[in-house]
Structure 1
């Protein structure tokens, strides 16, 4: 068996051409449709970035207003969705609840409209799904969406009943932008594979949600916060990391397939994490994180990825840990949809080959 062309996990394999985003690992550069993420998090809202990813250009004032009006008036979901959530076990994983909800939602939505409009509908409705699912699982009633609010303010309204426009809302906006898109990552590639069979956008999104659930992808932010809680104090942090490495445990939130010199997104959020710790008067998670980061760099030469600082940032915002990955979905739906649209606009079914390492040819003759 010739394995010279085999790349485990498709590492380094070029699987397509895309105009949605570019990662330059050597320069620590990430562009969405040509715009540097530093510029986007400084000057844009998540609604503007959503428009950029779905429609190719940043919106003007009138285009943005029209987009926000469409999204705002499209946030309600059918009553059957709430009944579905009530019928599920309260202990069901939020990502499993979300997969089922998107699949059911698709049966209520128009099939004969452009994929860009379908994508807008999902961008509008996913916060309603995520927050209603959580509240119902906690024995609370869902809150009706507010069509007058922006994406971020509406999320906090749906979750807690109170929209936010403070520093926490600003930081949440940054994380949503940074989670929105990242090339041919596992969930995006899963979505592209699904729709390459000429399945529909909704099926592609369900595939992506299932892929994002895994702790090596979207679930890493939840696992990172649980790790910080297990460490508990700054005094334990260095020893905990060293012992975990000896036991060959995976330290969640570190390393990245593409970035070898540090994830620029993590660097951006780290600055906000420090400021948020100061503003809230809760430096514990920041101090533990600093020690863990130093130990990992010294021992493994690994830098944190985006999920590591986001974990403690979301915790300081008061967001429930099981919602970290569904919150990822609220943003990444824009990147997934952009890739799905791109795949279907110039489609060829994705069907790679493989190497066989099973038994040599066998026969039942003479048995």
Structure 2
């Protein structure tokens, strides 16, 4: 019996939420290409679409925005738990612990979309509350009229974000709402398959996202952009790295063997803000030069930017420290995780894969002796 290590190539579920075609560079949200989603969707619209399988009308969108706004306010109990955590606890562990504390009897099986909205609203507030209290700054109360992404930036920094930054971060968060049967989504569905609650499934997913092989921050791209900024010569830096055989961080992807559709969509959104932020402009010009040089040094390899490249540029532009990259990724992916938990509950079968025993057979050894 041959084992598929890591379950690679093994179909575990049937889903109508998203489709990832790495060979052809296609990502679909409920049958619609991500580039088309980006043209018409705000974070709230895209989240509604993934949860309900249809676009919201004006009334439904207002209702969702009101629900997100209402649940942004953390309870005194959750704040007390966050305040009591060790100062040297990383942000992903803080999110995991805070979300886990939400698991009251209100979340007992079966999961609901209302629960998904509540958790999605809370994660940005958890991140912002923890960041500001650790820095010795007073926590910032949410502003009801701000969008989900605008409010996240406002609660982080205590001032209203400029439009270019809010638009760029919203684009990134829409693109990372969902991405097929990745490790954290699988973890959420495995937990949900036992008829556990949504909070438990989300906690499993957060713990999985924390691992650097899954939710690792694109710090290498930040280092590259910093170096280019200091030298002030994009071609010189990139050509030097390629001549030395170094990898250009932010190029190539383990799933997409051609263009990463999320990077293309994000680039198109950033082009609309060209000239409004120097870091975003630098990223756009770096990509142009890098693709040109990669074709020269590695012809036929089809190495293009991945979503982490532009994500790093966005984080740099809004002055977000690397420690918040994966937590911000988590804040968006809560939508995808909860959509999968809701889908799992509709037609549930507990996951129980087989394993291949490769240890010794003591019975054979005893007979031989």
Task: Specify whether residues 98 and 296 from structure 1 end up closer, same or farther in structure 2 by C-alpha distance, changes over 3 A only.
Answer: farther
1:21–1:181 Cα contact (<8 Å) kept: yes
How much does 1:84 deviate? 2.8
Aligned mates of 2:36, 2:162 — CA distance in 1 = 21
RMSD over aligned Cα atoms: 2.8
Q: Cα deviations across residues 35-89 of structure 1 (Å, max 9, x unaligned)?
A: 2221221111110111111122110011111111122112111223223333333
Q: Does 1:208 align with 2:208?
A: no
Determine the C-alpha separation between the residues in 2 that align with 1:241 and 1:206. 41
Query: What corresponds to 2:172 in structure 1?
Result: 175
Question: 167-176 vs 221-230, which deviates more?
Answer: 221-230
1:321 maps to what in 2? 322
Deviation at residue 296 of structure 1 after TM alignment:
5.8
Name structure 2 gaps, 5 residues minimum.
none
Q: Distance in 1 between matches of 2:252 and 2:355?
A: 27
Deviations 1:324-350 (A, max 9, x none): 111111211111001011112111111
1:42 equivalenced with 2:43 (yes/no): no
Other structure's SS at 1:13 match:
coil
In 2, distance between residues paired with 1:348 and 1:254? 38
CA distance in 1, matches of 2:303, 2:361: 42
Indicate how the Cα distance of structure 1 residues 241 and 337 shifts in structure 2: closer, same or farther if over 3 A, else same.
farther
Aligned length: 360
Where does 1:25-104 land on structure 2 (aligned, <5 Å)? 25-104=22-101
Cα drift, residue 125 of structure 1? 1.3
- Equivalent in the alignment of 2:142: 145
1:332 and 2:333 correspond: yes
Distance verdict in 2 for CA 1:361–1:113, change over 3 Å: closer
CA contact under 8 A between 2:171 and 2:269: conserved in structure 1?
Answer: no
Once the 2 structures are TM-superposed, how far is the Cα of residue 95 of structure 1 from its aligned partner? 0.8
Q: TM-score, normalised by structure 1?
A: 0.87
Contact 1:222 1:325 in 2 (8 A): no
Give the TM-score, by structure 2 length. 0.87
Identify if the C-alpha distance between structure 1 residues 296 and 218 changes in structure 2 by more than 3 Å, giving closer, same or farther. Answer: farther
